[in-house]
Amino acid sequence: MIKQIYRRGFTLIELLVVIAIIGILASVVLASLNSARDKGADAATKSNLNNARAQAELYYENNGRAYTNVCTAAGGIGTMLAGANSSAGTGNAVCSSNATQWAMKARMMSNTAHYYCVDSTGQAKSYTSGWSTTAVTVCP
């Protein structure tokens, strides 16, 4: 009687198939994480801009009921503008003001043609196109 020896383990082909499947799954997960990261940056930008509205009203009350320099003055919304620029990308958020009104807008990371705008009239909404670096004092 001949004794048979059985070897347990995986063949090279089986190992290569498993590695290929893991690689495909990893690429799908990484692609999903990029869009989630952009959506997170968009949410941070919107939050910064919405918080700017309350800060601008405090500035208005403390500075002779005027919005003049609210975008740049101490106690104004300059830090929110810097925060929006850090989450949307430097140069992708602009703010402008005069004595009676102000507006701030920032480009969205998930789609750079879209932007979000808040202003002194209480508007806060997303726009699907027409981004420009031109500062406005009222959202379109």
pLDDT at 40 over 80: yes
Alpha-carbon gap, residue 63 to 97, rounded angstroms: 14
Alpha-carbon gap, residue 134 to 112, rounded angstroms: 15
Residue 67's pLDDT is what?
A: 92
pLDDT at 8 over 90: no
Determine contact, residues 97/67, Cβ cutoff 8 Å: yes
Alpha-carbon gap, residue 60 to 100, rounded angstroms: 9
pTM (two decimals): 0.72
Alpha-carbon gap, residue 51 to 40, rounded angstroms: 16
Residue 121's pLDDT is what?
A: 92
pLDDT tens for 63-119 read 999 999 998 888 888 877 777 666 656 568 888 999 999 999 988 888 878 899 999
Higher pLDDT, 33 or 7: 33
